[in-house]
Amino acid sequence: MQSWAPQADILSHSSIGGFLTHCGWNSTLQSIYNGVPMIAWPLFAEQWTIVTVLTEELGVAMPAGVKREKGSVVGREEIERVVRLVMAPEGEEGKILRNRVKELQQNVKKAVDEGGSSYNELSEVAKEWKSSFIGSDLLKNAKDNRGTSETF
């Protein structure tokens, strides 16, 4: 029995049309990478900031009506309203949201694919780290514990 839902696998499934999320950073990235519009339901900490970026700046999420007050409750009518807005094929708001997240998805995939900006920058960081470890005790310990320096 699995103790945790395979969220990345679920979000990548073609039947998923929206994602009700607290907007933690990993969930946000997985949703954008898979082109899934979000219904934002933040609870605490950085989630509120992420929701602002997703709804007001990127336009890939719709707020669920949560207020930043202790004891704030979102009723089922509000959740139904927002789900219908996001999911309705004929609705203009949902269409704009879906188009925007698909556009962002394409940009993200270009960046992380081989040759993309994110891929290239991370590769450079890995090369720098690897070259700074050559000859160091840290690399020797890594070889002893893992087999070769190629694990870096």
Backbone angles phi, psi at 39, to 5 degrees: -110, 115
The mean per-residue pLDDT over the stretch 34-49 comes to 95
- Domain boundaries, given as residue ranges, for the chain: 7-112, 117-151
Q: With 50 as the cut, is the pLDDT of residue 26 above it?
A: yes
pLDDT of amino acid 55: 96
pTM greater than the 0.85 cutoff? no
Beta strands in the chain, from DSSP E residues, in sequence order? 19-21, 38-40, 61-63
pLDDT of amino acid 138: 63
Q: Residue 7 gets which letter from DSSP?
A: H
Say which CATH architecture domain 7-112 belongs to.
Answer: 3-Layer(aba) Sandwich (3.40)
